[in-house]
Amino acid sequence: MDHIHKYADALYQSLIQKEPIPALTDTDDSLTIDDAYAIQMINVKRMVEKGDIISGKKIGLTSFGMQKQLGVNEPDYGHLYQSMDFSETGCLNYDDFISPKIEGEVAFRLKEDLKGGKVTVEDVCRATDYVVAAFEIVDSRVADWKIKLIDTVSDDASSGAYVLGTTKARLNEIDLINLPMKLYKNDTFISEGVGSAVVGDPCKAVAWLSNRLWDYGVTLKAGEIVLSGAFSGAPAASRGDRFEADFGQLGIVKAKFV
């Protein structure tokens, strides 16, 4: 297990120092997905021990656009922390990141635990309190985003920050599969997508995430936020950029980098 701790240390130092490292898979082709999640969990424990609080979980790389952009063919999954939540202002310090990208997606707020390893879409609907529009800021500790699935899972699914919108909807009030999103950067339209881009249905993504994490003894818990995956590809962000995503019935979410 020494090599697992070594890679976890390298990723943690990269997070603190904002200096990227080479892809783990470039130096060790023996790493497995289970190894990657063990690396992630070492740093989850570190974050909690230093006083941060787990606020939720995330699934990433769910859309064909993001998988194509990063050259992977499966989703990734990771943890969210209260320190990542910038919903109050939507204002992000660019220097807090290495190479940020931004994704428009739907966030689920749970009112019941999702556990057991056989969670269905119906279970997700029953356990969800409400959904909101969201931005996820992804940021890779791996240099130049040259990642494989094992690299991003090790790196907490490239988690960086998130911003939640204010319009709440119950799942029986909204058609997530056909929910549209239009993404703007500095007032210029750059992309669009619909909920079906997220493995056919964002609720299906949450069910998949619950069942995948259950393999590692992790539960999606009541009160947590679950980021369900991007509606389209993720544009890079630079200092001074302003982003807005219009989710129609689910409202607008905004973020800016200073």
pLDDT of residue 12: 98
d(C-alpha 63, C-alpha 85), whole Å? 23
Q: What is the separation of C-alpha 37 from the centre of its chain, rounded to a whole number of angstroms?
A: 15
Q: Which residues contact 247 (CB under 8 A, 6 or more apart)?
A: 104, 106, 133, 165, 179, 180, 181, 253
This prediction's pTM:
0.95
* Nearest alpha carbon to residue 36 among 2, 4, 74: 4
- Tell me what pLDDT residue 62 has: 86
Cα separations (Å) of 108 from 201, 229, 244? 13, 11, 19
pLDDT at position 218 is 94
Q: What is the pLDDT of residues 4-37, one digit of tens each?
A: 999 999 999 999 999 999 999 999 999 999 999 9
Q: Tell me how many helices (H) and strands (E) the chain has.
A: 7, 11
Give how many domains the chain has, as a whole number. Answer: 1
Whole-number pLDDT of residue 254: 98
Q: Is the pLDDT of residue 173 over 80?
A: yes
| 151: CATH | 3.90.850.10
**Per-residue pLDDT, 233:** 87
Q: Which residues of 83-237 form beta strands (DSSP E)?
A: 91-92, 101-110, 128-138, 159-164, 180-185, 188-194, 225-230
User: Hey, what amino acid is at 50?
Assistant: K
* pLDDT at residue 69, as a whole number: 64
pLDDT digits (tens, 9 = 90+) for 189-205: 999 999 999 999 999 99
What's the domain range around 86? 2-257
